[in-house]
Amino acid sequence: MSSSAATALDPTTVGVVLAMAVVTYTTKAGGLWLVGRLELTDRAETALEVLPGVIVVSLVAGELAEGGPAAWLGAAAVAVVVRKTESLPLALLAGIGTVVLVRGRI
Amino acid sequence: MADSSGDRGQSTAVTDDDESATDETTARDEPSPRLVAFSRAGMLRGFRDCLPVAVGVAGYGVAFGVLASQAGLSAAEATLMSATVLAGAAQLLAVDLWAASASVATIVLATAAVNLRYLLLGATLRPWFADRSVLETYGSAFFTADENWALTMRAFADGGDAVGNGSESADAAYLLGSGLAIWVLWVAATVVGALVGDGVTDPARYGLDAAFLIVFVAVAVDLWDGRTDLPPWTAAFVAALATAVAVPGRWYLLAGALVGCSVGVRHADVEADSSGVGG
């Protein structure tokens, strides 16, 4: 039963998935395409240099707003470990570990 | 990754040199101010650097597979979505809407809204693809995901500093390589999660729901480039946090990016005026 269900492809579902794929690709390629068509001023270039950092910071803020104390402590642990060791895997382990441990205590 | 606080003065000096040197370089007969390669070596470097991050993403992929199967998608359908869409947040939202029997139009529109940020991410990649072919550029674009985009910006920034200094230079294929690492593990994890199905009922128990936050914090620390980042980053953080608390959905990202960017630009204007470097 599970093997036939696992490989099932409903035409409507496939249609929605492909529509999502087209929309997503359009956004991924769209930014590259638009900027290539424009002459950039100095200020626009500064904006593009600032952009990556502020996007990541905004993502962090949004996730912090959604998360609880465990997630906040996990975030702090990652920040400390990545700063001290510069090792991403170690930092990720420390972050997830902190989240799980803190939730276990509460 | 020379981003410890001790290098702050140094890196500012390098930035200043770069700015004043740009005009002189273009004045000379260089064919292009910035030659960026697109090589197999760059691709492999991206793949290798991104693997640890991709393993973290895979944890999320398992969660997606589980949620997708609980929403009524087959393993094949969930896997098709991961392979062709490759956007974690949008996929999770779509599956959420799916479970709530939302209309097709709602699901596709929500996908577009969540993915609007890719317009911004794509825009930041442009300088490194200025000299690349259409196939290289728009083929790589498919493999843009939050995590490998951030790693790529870091690699480009490091390589950008090193151009002409004999060390590893920026390579546009880094995006493709790091994206492939994400893609392979994201798709494989989706298969596992969808097949395991109801086995894992609560991703939060394993801390997987915090995986995005944790990756982004690590990336933010890496991207930190010294005190000039403080005003835009603070502004972005406050604006995004306020928006996230007040407005449902992912508008906080646009709010934070816009506010942070305008503060950064204004700050750069003020610095240029006060130090008289203007020209």
Return the number of other C-beta atoms located less than 10 Å from residue B40's C-beta. 10
What pLDDT, on a 0 to 100 scale, did the predictor assign at position B221? 87
ipTM score for this prediction = 0.75
Residue where the block lists tokens 């199905």 = B197
What pLDDT, on a 0 to 100 scale, did the predictor assign at position A106? 66
Chain A residues inside the 8 Å CB shell of B224 = 53
What pLDDT, on a 0 to 100 scale, did the predictor assign at position B153? 87
Nearest to A54 among B80, B108, B233 (CB): B233
How many Å apart are CA B229 and CA B268, to the nearest integer? 10
Can you give B60-120 as a three-state secondary structure string? Answer: HHHHHHHHHHHCCCCHHHHHHHHHHCCCHHHHHHHHHHHHCCCCHHHHHHHHHHHHCHHHH
Cβ–Cβ below 8 Å for B214 and A92: yes
Q: Is residue B112 within 8 Å of A27, Cβ to Cβ? A: yes
Look at residue A59 and tell me if it is in a domain.
Answer: yes
What pLDDT, on a 0 to 100 scale, did the predictor assign at position B46? 94
Look at residue A2 and tell me if it is in a domain.
Answer: no
> Predicted confidence band at A98 (pLDDT cuts at 50, 70, 90)?
very high
Look at residue A4 and tell me if it is in a domain.
Answer: no
Look at residue A5 and tell me if it is in a domain.
Answer: no
Look at residue A66 and tell me if it is in a domain.
Answer: yes
Give the B window 67-106 contacts with A, CB below 8 Å: 73-77, 80-81, 84-87, 90-91, 94, 104
How many Å apart are CA B102 and CA B96, to the nearest integer? 9
What pLDDT, on a 0 to 100 scale, did the predictor assign at position B61? 85
CA angle B150, B154, B156 (to 5 degrees): 115
Look at residue A65 and tell me if it is in a domain.
Answer: yes
Beta bridge partners of B37: B171
As a whole-number percent, the residues of chain A with pLDDT over 90 amount to 45
CA distance, residue A38 to nearest chain B CA (Å): 11
Look at residue A67 and tell me if it is in a domain.
Answer: yes
Chain B residues inside the 8 Å CB shell of A4 = none
How many Å apart are CA B87 and CA A26, to the nearest integer? 12
Which residues, given as ranges, of chain B have pLDDT below 70? 1-34, 159-168, 198-204, 206, 208, 275-279
Nearest to B119 among A10, A30, A66 (CB): A30
Cβ–Cβ below 8 Å for B256 and A78: no
What pLDDT, on a 0 to 100 scale, did the predictor assign at position B1? 36
Look at residue A6 and tell me if it is in a domain.
Answer: no
Q: Is residue B1 within 8 Å of A91, Cβ to Cβ? A: no
Q: Tell me the average pLDDT across A41-67.
A: 85
What's the number of domains chain A is made of? Answer: 1
Above 50 in pLDDT, residue A33? yes
Residue A70 lies in domain? 11-104
Residue type, position B113, single letter = A
How does B143-174 read in b/e, with b if 16+ C-beta sit within 10 Å?
Answer: bbbbbbbbbbbbbbbbbbbeeeeeeebbbbbb
Cβ–Cβ below 8 Å for A17 and B77: yes
Q: Tell me the average pLDDT across A48-59.
A: 84
